Amino acid sequence: MKPFELLARHFSSKIDRLDWKYLCDPSNRLKLIDNIARRKGVGDIDAVCTLKSEFESSNNDRKEEIHDELLTLALRIPNRSHPALSKGDNTPKTVKTMGTRKNYDFEPARFESLAKKWKLTRTDTSLFTGPRSYYLLDQLADLEAALVNYSVSVLKSKGFQLISVPDILPREIIEDCGMDTRGPRSQVYTLEGKHPNDDLCLSGTAEMGISYYLKDKSIPASDLPLKIAAVSRCFRAETSKISEERGIYRVHQFTKVEMYGVYRPADSADGLDEFTQIQEEIYGNLGLELRVLDMPECELGAQAYRKFDVEAFMPGKRMWGEVSSASDCTDYQSRRLNLTTDEGLFPHTINGTACAIPRIIIALTETHQTRDGTIELPPCLVPYLGYDKIARSRLPKVVSCKPKEQDWRNSVEERDKITA
């Protein structure tokens, strides 16, 4: 496998790279309005086209005045949606099922109960790092590393090239990927920069770091498809009051193996199928019961043209839980990133989860538990672990030494006497 080649590109204005021919074609107006509404977007295509017309007829001074407003409005318009989605409702469509549900001769326990029994997690860290924080201990920490190495091994066998990405990124990059960073429901953590011009955020997925790497680049068409994998920590300001999502199901940071693809426009639909098949292979080898969902427009986000989610059945929780997704973003991201081919085309980008560690750990432990609570691990992970069962933690018992309030007050009084 030869290293991929990236060619530097001359800078071009983002406003010039948007698909104005489509956006301001009167025959597309109703389709755009309907698409925005079905995707629960906030874009106003009429305002965009009115301002674009004024922009084109204005002198240079006036263009400078309205440039930023026009760009802001235009970037709110979501990607188009796959034609098959416009005929459906707002519910996911099951397109495939895999695996067989296990029959247990006992009541399957939830992950939280299993982890507590074997002392393999700590989630009582709210005093230190806020809610939805956690520690994976001993064998679960081993399992995290094994899942990462197993997933990366599968991706390399499929022609993916591995890179390491930063977790701190400019806000603009995250927004170019289609994520809202400013709204009241934003899941993005914003950082206070050390310098006045810093406008930085924590990355929610390696997709963003890979996108930053590809920004303002040209890829030889002969090198397509370009498939990249990355392992990163993902930071998300998520909240949930659903009892089934407590513990490590929905957390503020986690490890994830990400897939990213750059395809010729005519090939991205096949690329999306390839990504989904890789997910099915990874999770199928883990012995999980799976279903693949074609997601409705209201679940796509701004960037996706089409998205498939993979859910695994979690016997202890008695529910299906999303463990991955894969999205064809067509040229939505490449236009914003100034990513082209050497033929001058905007390629299509695809992203997908190869392995999101916490939820896969939940599905694995609940699926492969035995009557005594021991976890029997699937054969594909044993070479990365060196053992095939998970039970009691081998770590020494840790006892909290948090002082009682009165003890704390006494120590403060003693300190004040000494320093007086």
* Cα dihedral: 129, 130, 131, 137 (round 10): 10
Domain assignment of residue 133, yes or no: yes
- Asked if the structure places residue 399 within a domain, the reply is no
Residue 297 binned pLDDT confidence (cut-offs 50, 70, 90): very high
Phi-psi region of 216 (alpha: psi -120 to 50; beta: other; left: phi over 0): left
Q: What is the mean pLDDT of residues 279-291?
A: 97
Residue 409 lies inside a defined structural domain of this protein? no
| Mean pLDDT of all residues in 15-38 | 95
Q: How far is CA 298 from CA 73, 211, 242, 323, in A?
A: 20, 24, 21, 19
Which pLDDT score, from 0 to 100, does residue 247 have? 72
Provide mean pLDDT across the span 318-344: 96
Looking at residue 58, its pLDDT comes to 87
69 and 209 fall within a common domain: no
What is the structure's pLDDT at 127? 58
Q: How many CB atoms lie within 10 A of CB 84?
A: 10
pLDDT band at residue 3 using 50, 70 and 90 as cut-offs = low
Instruction: Give me the domain span that covers residue 230.
Output: 83-167+202-390
* pTM as predicted: 0.89
Mean pLDDT check: name the lowest of 255-269, 372-386, 406-420: 406-420
Same domain (yes/no): 309, 338: yes
Pair 19, 115 in one domain:
no
Q: Is the pLDDT of residue 347 over 90?
A: yes
User: Is position 406 within any domain?
Assistant: no
How much is the average pLDDT of 263-286? 97
Shared-domain flag, residues 346 and 255: yes
Check whether residue 312 and residue 372 sit in a common domain: yes
Eight-state DSSP code of residue 159: T
With helix as H, strand as E and coil as C, how does 90-145 read?
CCCEEEEEECCCCCCCCCCCCHHHHHHHHCCEECCCHHHHCCCCCEECCHHHHHHH
The fraction of the chain above a pLDDT of 90, given in percent, is 72
Task: Give backbone dihedrals phi and psi of 146, rounded to 5 degrees, phi first.
Answer: -65, -40
pLDDT in tens, 197-209: 678 999 999 999 9
Domain co-membership, 24 together with 144: no
Higher pLDDT, 258 or 13: 258
* pLDDT exceeds 80 at position 245: no
Query: Cα dist. 291→87, 94, 132, 280, 390 in Å?
Result: 21, 7, 27, 9, 26
Instruction: List, for residues 83-126, the tens digit of each pLDDT value.
Output: 988 666 889 999 999 999 999 999 999 999 999 999 998 877 66
Assess whether pLDDT exceeds 90 at residue 211: yes
Whether residues 70 and 87 share a domain: the answer is no
Mean pLDDT of 52-58: 92
Domain count for the chain, please give it: 2
CA atoms within 13 A of residue 86's CA, in its CB half-sphere = 13
For residues 134 and 225, membership in a common domain is answered with: yes
Distant-in-sequence contacts of 91-97, Cβ < 8 A, 24+ apart:
91/296, 92/293, 92/294, 92/295, 92/296, 92/299, 92/309, 93/293, 93/294, 93/296, 94/291, 94/292, 94/293, 95/292, 95/293, 95/294, 95/308, 96/280, 96/291, 96/292, 97/289, 97/290, 97/291, 97/292
Q: Mean pLDDT over residues 40-62, rounded?
A: 91
Per the model's pLDDT, the better-predicted residue between 25 and 87 turns out to be 25
Both 161 and 25 in one domain: the answer is no
**Residue 415's pLDDT is what?**
58
Residue 116 lies in a domain: yes
- Of 33-47, 183-197, 201-215, 286-300, minimum mean pLDDT range: 183-197
Same domain, 132 and 242: yes
- Using a pLDDT cut of 70, give the percent of the chain over it: 87
> pLDDT at position 138, please?
94
The predicted pLDDT at position 194 comes to 73
pLDDT, residue 142, reads 97
Q: Output the pLDDT for position 27.
A: 97
Res. 264 pLDDT band, cuts 50 70 90: very high
Is residue 290, in this structure, part of any structural domain at all? yes
Q: What is the pLDDT of residues 129-144, one digit of tens each?
A: 666 788 899 999 999 9
Q: Determine, yes or no, domain membership for 236.
A: yes
316 touches 369 (CB < 8 A): yes
Averaged over 359-366, what is the pLDDT? 97
Q: Which of 7-21, 163-177, 241-255 has the highest mean pLDDT?
A: 163-177
Q: Which pLDDT belongs to residue 125?
A: 65
What is the domain-level CATH number for residue 376? 3.30.930.10
Structural domain includes residue 384: yes
**Residue 27 sits in the same domain as residue 100:** no
Q: What is the reported pLDDT for 221?
A: 94
Q: Rounded mean pLDDT of the chain?
A: 89
What was the pLDDT predicted at 409?
57
Q: Are residues 213 and 67 in the same domain?
A: no
